[in-house]
Amino acid sequence: MSALLLCLLLMLAPQPTGSGLLTVLSRPELKGARVAVVVMDAETGRTLHELRPDEPLLPASNMKLLTTAAAVSGLGADFVFSTSLLAETEPGPDGVLPGDLIVVGSGDPSLRTDVLEPFGGQGPAALLAEIVAAAGVTDVQGCLRLDDSIFDREWVHPSWERDDLGRAYAAPVGALSLEGNCLHVVFDARSRGESPWASLSAPVSGYALENEVHWSDKPGRYIVGALRPRVDGTVKLTGHISRGVIGQPVAVPVRNATRLFGASLLGALRGRGIRVHGGICLDGSGGAGEVELGRIETPLDRALFLANKDSDNTVTEHLFKAIGAQAEGQGSFASGARAMGHFLRSTVGVSTAGLVLADGSGLSRSNRVSARALAATLASMHASPQPERDLFLRSLSVAGLDGTLTKRLREAPYRGAVRAKSGYIGGVSSLSGLAWTRSGRVLAFSILINGYATKYRNQDMKRIQDDLCRELVSRW
């Protein structure tokens, strides 16, 4: 084929335009809403379509894309969280440890039973107690000293809404964390008492249940809730359960992550017959021990997958503080925001003027992010070297297959063609990710919708986002 004929064929072939996107964006569901869209070529970084690209809007959980990208870039794909068990001296031949048993945290959010068990582990507190027992310790003369100094103790972000603080998705963020920093309450609807029997799924000293759950005369009811522990550690349970109904445990966020960690580990140590004479010391660092008894390490990918595929707020906030600790020596919401801003400016190459980086998960309604910043971050990660690129891309939900996109875009050719992160808080719906088109291109895109009419639901916004993705895959 001659070069002239090839040029003529290329000129006559239909070229991708934004007309299909504009048709979708003109739907009545978006009337009055503030909508921003950016589509760019992930290989070249060239912008192909934009609508209000630099308007700072609430991103909801699309904020997690910025946090996880900054974590992969700043911490490195081979980064591991480490929780170390230390002592000032070796335990004696009789199993007596003369001083303190010291636990040093690094902000690991993956110390959860549901995360560890598939890898052959057990609950994190039991696993730590097993390490202590394997080191030959049977009696600790000092205290269980908890070093959480790598993070600050601002457990929750000041701009999180008060009503969210009793929910598991707004659990505290600390350097020593386990089980998502939640107590897990289980109910037995087979009990014969005046109310359904309730207990904690694992023994945790210092917490008590105030059970005000009642039997329901209606069949199939399992409507239960729990208030965040009072200062004295009492958890009030409310609701109704039908006899014989089996429901999921209720996760109750605590107020102090380090206290929960210590109480859980102390209970697990007692379960192994290990005495700790001095109880728990919550005094921060207090100096590190010279003898390492053992450690638990978890790779970054576990936290990354929980953050992006499962949209786990608490995990993401730990990553947010971790990048702050990497940059400034101590993790906090403020240092995490500064580290993320530096990442956007220096690595992604976008301006942060007008943006508000309040938290890492998008739970805060103070966040403001542009569609350009999100799309550019995705394009930057797609172009980043291995293994960072692969780790980040694998952490994204795949349309029609897994994560929060399991039930979206399930039909061919869209199934598997989009890797993205969804987002929702009241009045805000978002979707940003990467699309592999039928023509072989890879597109980075961001769709932010703020302030849609109250007569519409997030499901209506999802349909619009999915149709925009169909346009990208089919016509570009």
CA-nearest of 289, 320, 253, 252 to 107 is: 320
Contact 449, 430 (CB under 8 A): yes
CA-nearest of 350, 308, 362 to 40 is: 350
Active-site residue flag, 311: yes
Kindly state the helix (H) or strand (E) to which residue 320 belongs, with its residue range: helix 313-328
Phi, psi of 463 (to 5 degrees): -65, -40
Phi, psi of 126 (to 5 degrees): -65, -35
**Which residues, 6 or more positions from 107, have their beta carbon under 8 angstroms from its beta carbon?**
81, 150, 151, 174, 175, 177, 318, 321, 322, 325, 331
Contact 464, 30 (CB under 8 A): yes
CA-nearest of 345, 374, 360, 350 to 448 is: 374
Active-site residue flag, 61: yes
Identified catalytic residue from 84, 311, 332, 397: 311
Active-site residue flag, 384: no
CA 337 to CA 341: how far, in whole Å? 6
Query: Per-residue DSSP letters for 136-159?
Result: T--EESS-EEEE-TTB-S--S-TT
Tokens of 391: 């780790």
Which residues are tagged catalytic?
Answer: 61, 64, 311
